[in-house]
Structure 1
């Protein structure tokens, strides 16, 4: 086996080894400190510290143990690898639907994202997640290839009755679909007439390739398969994702044209 892989395996096979090295990367600790941090027994700690000493990953002083420069290097690399794999596990079942061509952000920013998928008992769980977000936010911005009846109903109510702000930019086909229905066309026209809402239309040759809802502290992506079936809702609060989502909205907003009441006649 490759010596580097052997060392990775040596660390990965023991959560206590990883925890001890990570603790020593942060500063000097006594054996009692390490016992409290890791929960490992003294005999286990003794073996770990001897193994680390043999590899020159740690040094000992009167104050306790600390990581050497190479020990810090290994600890940092192990932490990075753990974060990468944690993120991969989070995204494994939905990665095929992520709009990666548009998602100009480090995937590690999605590590703590909340992913909602349909289940047997809650087949509409992603939709419910979206409507909950729309219902509770003070300000909402959307950039999307679709604008469904339920979302329109909530945006209509929260804007006209609750006085909350809304900015949406949609593919032309999404607006045309709503305008074909008398009831939905009426709600859309009332939104257009409201001072609290502004809607723009993307008339480009291709529809908007993603669906993003942005509130004060959440950026939500709706993930659909090639047949247009909703597969998941992904909510991220990482500032990098929020910044990207706002930039996407601003770009399509600048390219869109304002939806006028005359467009709905």
Structure 2
């Protein structure tokens, strides 16, 4: 039977192991993260869950985000490419269908791709009062998502657009930063005109 001191040491080792594991995962995507995130106190790192692709499961970050969509009553996203990949796109469509308010802010090139690839569904979503799509020419390289009880950061490979990591956390200081970032881009974002993207 462990003493109270032994239990405290064991708990400390678990915390250290968790921090080291998170640091190892973050190191792989550090260069994609906004500077502000890299400046957060190190104790916030252990509160981050990092989902990386694996050789046998390359869509792990996308699948993880799809599961988070099933648990939220709020979706606001800067650079939401992860939300527009299968199976997230179907989950997002279902959420909009149930009346959930969704706002996505992305680059014109991304809107052009999805209107061209999914014209019928894109138009159907765009007509919903609870779905807002905005565009902005200068967005961060990392996606920033505001869900009901957590913040997500999605890291994209710039050439292919593939999702390299999904980071999630409920740390208040990161939520505050993400809300501020979202608001700073939303204020200058423009409504999307679907006719500009559909021939």
Query: What TM-score do you get using the length of structure 2 for normalisation?
Result: 0.79
Aligned to 2:187: 254
Q: Could you report, residue by residue, the CA deviation over 1:39-59 in whole angstroms, capped at 9, with x for unpaired residues?
A: 39xxxxxxxxxxxxxxxxxxx
* Structure 2 SS opposite 1:39: helix
Q: CA deviation at 1:89?
A: 4.6
Contact 2:69–2:92 at 8 Å: present in 1 too? yes
- Structure 1 counterpart of 2:172: 239
In the aligned structure 2, how far is the partner of 1:249 from the partner of 1:105?
A: 18
Q: Do the aligned partners of residues 216 and 105 (structure 1) sit closer, same or farther apart at CA in structure 2, a change above 3 Å counting?
A: farther
1:112 to 25, 28, 47: 47
In 2, Cα distance between equivalents of 1:36 and 1:257 = 61
Of residues 249-258 and 93-102 in structure 1, the stretch that sits farther from structure 2 once superposed is 93-102
1:39 has 2:6 as partner: yes
Which gives a bigger RCO, structure 1 or 2 (Cα 8 Å, sep 6+)? Answer: 2
Label 1:107 to 1:153 Cα distance change in 2 as closer, same or farther (>3 A): farther
Cα distance in 1 for partners of 2:99, 2:52 equals: 31
- RMSD between aligned residues: 2.8
Q: How far off its partner does 1:110 sit?
A: 2.5
TM-score (norm 1): 0.61
Structure 1 unmatched ranges of 5 or more: 1-34, 41-78
Following TM superposition, by how much is the alpha carbon of 1:119 offset from its aligned partner in structure 2, in angstroms? 2.4
Aligned-residue offset at 1:229: 3.6
Unpaired runs of 5+ residues, structure 2, are: none
Structure 1 residue 90: deviation in Å?
Answer: 1.5
Distance 2:174 2:39 in 1: 7
